[in-house]
Amino acid sequence: MIEKSLKATAQRISADRVWPAEAGFTLVEIIAVLVILSLLAALTIPRFINLDQSASRQALAAGVAQLNSREVMAWSNIKLSASGWTDDVQVFAQLNTDLGKDYRWNPSAKVDGGVLSFKDLATDLNRIPSTTSSAGRWAEK
């Protein structure tokens, strides 16, 4: 009888080891997953921040290109008009410097340039005046 009882107990113990009754993750497994997740976050978050800065720089470059296109268009319209080109102030007066809601001039666009901002990034722009033979041009200082 004792032998049968010991045998049954041994079988129960070995069955518990093969198929433990407790389910879930150990503390070591949870810590390992947290370490892996924190490493991934540490590597990817700076890339997303740099991506945003890079996009802002590209948007400012696109804004400058847009200003140059508008400058050529205004200069061409004045050159083709009946009165023709008289001076650079006339060209600048017809130039639309509003580039959209995310762009800001600090304080405003001027005949010789200004500070153009896109979201949190700003650049100082210089405007080369138009002449009878060429349109004005915007460029970073």
The tokens for 76 are 């061409």
Residue 106 counted as domain residue = yes
DSSP 34-90: HHHHHHHHHHHHHHHHHHHHHHHHHHHHHHHHHHHHHHHHHHHHHHHSSS----HHH
Q: pLDDT (tens digit, 9 = 90+) per residue, 21-75?
A: 567 889 999 999 999 999 999 888 888 777 888 899 999 999 999 999 999 999 9
pLDDT at 12: 64
pLDDT digits (tens, 9 = 90+) for 109-132: 999 999 999 988 999 999 999 999
Q: Give the per-residue pLDDT at 24.
A: 85
Extract the tokens encoding 116.
């153009």
Q: DSSP label at 96?
A: -
Whether residue 130 is contained in a domain is answered as yes
The answer as to whether 5 is a domain residue is no
| pLDDT value at 16 more than 80 | no
The structure tokens listed for 34 are 């947290």
As a whole number, mean pLDDT of residues 83-90 equals: 92
10 in a structural domain: no
Q: Which range marks the domain in which residue 66 is found?
A: 56-140
Give me the number of domains the chain comprises. Answer: 1
Structure tokens at 137: 């041009």
Q: What does the pLDDT read at residue 51? A: 80
In a domain, 45, yes or no: no
The answer, as to whether pTM is greater than 0.75, is: no
Higher pLDDT, 17 or 23: 23
Residue 14 carries which side chain, given as an amino acid letter?
A: S
Q: What single string gives the DSSP state of each residue in 113-135?
A: EEEEEETTEEEEEEEEPP-SSS-
